[in-house]
Structures are given as structure tokens and as C-alpha cells.
Amino acid sequence: MSDFVTVIMAAGKGTRMKSTLPKVLHKVGGKPMLGHVLSAANAAGAGRNIVVIGFGADVVQETIGPEAEFVVQREQLGTGHAVLQTRDRLAGYTGTVMVLSGDTPLLQPELLARLFEAHRREAAAATVLTGLMPDTTGYGRVIRDSEGRVVKIVEQKDASPAELAVNEVNAGIYCFEAPALFEALGRITCDNQQCEYYLPDVVGLLVKAGTKVWAVAADDYQDTLGINSRRQLAEAEKILRARKNMALMDAGVTIMDPDSTFIDAEVTIGTDTVVYPFTWLEGQTSVGSRCAIGPNTRIADSAVGDDTTIHFSYAHDCRIGNGVTVGPYVHIRPQTALADKVKVGNFVEIKNSLVGEGSKVPHLSYIGDTDMGTGVNIGSGTITVNYDGKKKYRTTIEDNAFIGCNTNLVAPVKVGHGAYVAAGSTITKDVPSSALGVARARQSNIEGWVSRNKG
């Protein structure tokens, strides 16, 4: 089913957000509100999405990318004026236009599909999606006649006391037959409290002209919440995160305490993984099956394999293999890949490095710009000295090398296959394969020194 195009209104500043960022780019569940609306539209079968941009047009277009077409509304004269800007782009199109708002991030595809189906079934010129809101503040009210037919939509600021008492609101989402839409848009005026061209006025005009107007009520008011303020943003955030956790649990993930677990919209997790409290999984992160993640862990834009444990740690822009143990208190920084069965723990930072299969960095180390082979053992307190104040250099540690505790590896430097480095060494020259590198002062013991210096 792909027989409608969408027009998504996203040109407003979002004054009530008190932000320099366009409202539709504020994130819910780690994804811009407009991104959620586009995803829902696509999943409902939209053949084409046209986004009306204005305030912060460049940044909106850049964030959303080639997924949509864009039309600019130079002055924000109202939602009706916004949709009117797409008239040329849709010239000759006689099908259904689904109009959406960029600030309703909780929409679900099933609801949009239901709206479209009802619109088609009823052969209506316009079908409006409505919601029964516990708090109707700020929404347009849907006014019906004694037989329940929609008569018009009245904005809060223009409503009479009786109209204000109506709790069925306009969700700001509609299906229109394109010719009827643009014909009526040509006739709306800005004769209202806000001196704006209201899209909902189209509904009243079509009813007056005797054209069929239909309404579909959302079963769950949360789906159609419009976000105009930071308070509403926080409300949406809570709902979206609860939904995400629910979906993951339904798919076989254990979430020990959903209220203290924050998983972004696009994160994927395999079955039988357990997520412990105070864990954030963000952006484009994937976690495999049978992992234990958290407590107190943040993973962003990273891929984690199966059977891996990560606790009390932060990892971002990295790849972590299967059967890996990370933590406690580890920071895995960008461009790092930990191969299978690696162990990293206890106050270790790793950056821009490859750590080969089965290698261990168990305590108090900084590993930066390093290529580490398989089966390597890094002693406690080992530091790669990768920066001379101007440039960064790489360290190479080949398979099965053994680095003693408290070693400095001054890059560029290489420790060969199977080589050993004595504890406490500052290594500035390559250590050949199978050799022992020692770089520290020899110890001398002064016999009887203590008794001679006493008293």
C-alpha cells in the first residue's frame, strides 16, 4: 500500500520550547521528533514525504537528509499557509495527501494506516484524526453536530466556553484529497486571534461546501500527543522509553528495572540479554544475545556481540566482540575494536585501537592508537605513550606478547611476537620477537644501611 504522499509541517520555530534549535529536531528516545514522524509515515506506506521547512531550514534538511523532499515556507504564517507551499510540488497530483505535524513523535504506523483506510473506505474529501485528551490545553477542539458529524475545528484561542469544554481534539493529522485540499486552502483567511492561516479551517470550509468530511479517533491519546513545550517533551520521552522497553521485553530481553533503563528508539538487543539498572543504550547501538549489560553502563553508537558482559562502563563508537568482558570502570573510546574473548577491566581507557582475540588489559591502563594481536597480556598500569604534544603515534604489540606491570610503551614502537617486557620498563626501542625488553635502573641493596642511620 503506497498510495498517499505526506506533507509534514515542520517550519515553525516552536516558540514555547524557548530554544535556538528548531522544535522538530528536539530528540525523543535519542531521535529527532521529525525522524519519528517520518518513520511512522514510511512504515504506514507513504510513497513520498514532503517536509515543509522554514525556521532553521538548513539544519532540519541536513539532519533529515535525503529521506525526504523539502519545500521552504519563508514566513511562518500558519499551518494552512505551510501546506499551501506544496501546491506547485504536487501540481497534477490528484490522490490522497496525508498531512502530519513534525511535533507528534509518538505516532504509530498502525494508526496512520487506519486513518488512510478509513479515508478511502468513506470516500471522504478530508478525514481528521482526533484524540480524547485528558488535558486539552493548546489543542484545537473538534466540534460535531447533534448527529455526531464533524462541523469544524476551533483553535483554543478562538473557542467559546462551550467549545473549550469539548475534550475531543484535533491531532493535527489529516488525509485530504489533493484537489479539495488546495481548492479550500485558497479560500482560508487569517481572520482569527493569532492572525494565522489555519489548516483546520479547511475542514469547516469543506463541510460547508457539502463535501464529505470524516473523523477517526485514536484509541490511545498518547499516540497523538503534540509537543510544544519542554514539559511535554519530557512526557513524550517517558512514554516512548516505556514503549521501547516493553517491546524489547516482549522480544525476549530481560530488563531488570524498566524505570531506570534508557534505551533509544533504534537500539536492537538479542534474546536472553539481561539489562541491569541505570543503563543507557544510545543511538545506533546493537547488542547481541545472552549479554549482561550494566548496571551503570552507557553504550552509544556501538555494536556489541553475543555473550558479552559490560558493567559500570562507558563505550562509544566502537565494536565489541563475542564473549568479551568489559568493566568495571572502563572507557572504550571511538575507533576501537575488541575482538572475541577480550577482557578489559578495572580503570582502563582504550582509544582508536584494535585488541586481538583473547587479549587481556585487566587493570589501570591507557591503550591509545594501538594494534594489539591475539593472546596478549597487558600488565597492570601499562601506558601507551602515544602523543608528543604535536602528533599521535601508533604502538604495535604482536601476538602472545607479555607486557610487565607499570610499563611505558613510547610510540612509535613495536613489541614482537611472544616477546616479554620487564615490569617498570620505559620502552623506546622495538623489542624483537621472543626477546625480553628491560629498560629500568638496576637495583642495588646497601647492607646495614638502616641500623647505621638509626638513632
Active-site residue list: 363
Residue from 50, 153, 205, 207 that binds ligand UD1 (CB under 6 A)? 153
Q: Measured between alpha carbons, how far is 316 from 335 in angstroms, rounded to an integer?
A: 9
Q: Alpha-carbon distance 323 to 291, whole Å? A: 8
79 near ligand UD1 (CB under 6 A): yes
Spell out the alpha helix ranges (H) of 339-416. none
182, 198, 314, 366: which one contacts ligand UD1 (CB under 6 A)?
A: 198
171 binds ligand UD1 (CB under 6 A): yes
Q: How far is the CB of 78 from ligand UD1 (least distance, A)?
A: 5
Question: Out of 101, 108, 322, 400, which residue is the one contacting ligand UD1 (CB under 6 A)?
Answer: 101
With 0-12 / 13-18 / 19 or more C-beta atoms within 10 angstroms meaning exposed / middle / buried, residue 324 is: buried
Question: Applying CB under 5 A, does 226 fall inside the site for Ca ion?
Answer: yes
Q: Least distance (Å) from ligand UD1 to the CB of residue 101? A: 4
196 makes contact with Ca ion (CB under 5 A)? no
Scanning 63-71, 197-205, 429-437, 447-455 for contacts with ligand UD1 by CB under 6 A, the matching segment is: 197-205
d(CA 238, CA 106): 11
Pick the closer one to ligand UD1 by CB: 84 or 342. Answer: 84
**Is 131 a binder of Ca ion (CB under 5 A)?**
no
Beta strand pairing call for 413-415 and 402-403: unpaired
What does 79 bind: Ca ion, ligand UD1, none (CB cut-off 5 to 8 Å by kind)? ligand UD1
**Contact region for Ca ion (CB under 5 A) — 2-10, 89-97, 103-111, 364-372?**
103-111
Nearer to ligand UD1 by Cβ, of 180 and 287: the residue is 180
Tell me how far, at minimum, the Cβ of 172 lies from ligand UD1, in Å: 3
Count Cβ atoms within 10 A of the Cβ of residue 124 and give its class: 0-12 exposed, 13-18 middle, 19 or more buried: buried
> If contact means CB under 5 to 8 A according to the sort of partner, which of Ca ion, ligand UD1, none does residue 78 touch?
ligand UD1
Residue 188, judged by CB atoms within 10 A of its CB (0-12, 13-18, 19+), counts as: buried
Stretch touching ligand UD1 by CB under 6 A, among 135-143, 244-252, 351-359, 397-405: 135-143
Provide, rounded to whole angstroms, the least separation between the CB of residue 104 and Ca ion: 8
Identify which of 25, 94, 28 has the alpha carbon closest to the alpha carbon of residue 60.
25
The C-alpha angle with vertex 399 and arms to 398 and 404, in degrees rounded to 5, equals 75
Residues numbered 218-257 forming contacts with ligand UD1, rule: CB under 6 A: 226, 228
6, 103, 155, 408: which one contacts Ca ion (CB under 5 A)?
103
Decide: 450 and 434 in contact? Cβ < 8 Å. Answer: no
- Over its C-alpha atoms, the chain yields an Rg (Å, rounded) of 31
| Using rule CB under 6 A, residue 159 touches ligand UD1 | no
What residue 155 binds from ligand UD1, Ca ion, none (CB within 5 to 8 A, per partner kind)? ligand UD1
Minimum separation from the CB atom of position 215 to Ca ion (A): 19
> How crowded is residue 164: how many other Cβ atoms within 10 Å of its Cβ?
13
Query: Cβ(171)–Cβ(131) under 8 Å?
Result: yes
Residue 85 is which amino acid? Answer: Q
| 184 touching ligand UD1, by CB under 6 A | no
Between 24 and 248, whose beta carbon lies closer to ligand UD1? Answer: 24
Contact (CB, 8 A) for 15 and 230: no
Binds 262: which of Ca ion, ligand UD1, none (CB < 5-8 Å by kind): none
73 vs 308 by CB, closer to Ca ion: 73
What residues numbered 9-28 form the site for ligand UD1, per CB under 6 A?
Answer: 9-12, 24
Whole-number Å distance between alpha carbons of 146 and 206? 18
Q: Which residue ranges make up the site for ligand UD1 (CB under 6 A)?
A: 9-12, 24, 52, 54, 73, 76-79, 81-82, 101-103, 138-140, 153, 155, 169-172, 198-200, 226, 228
Q: Which residue ranges make up the site for Ca ion (CB under 5 A)?
A: 103, 226, 228
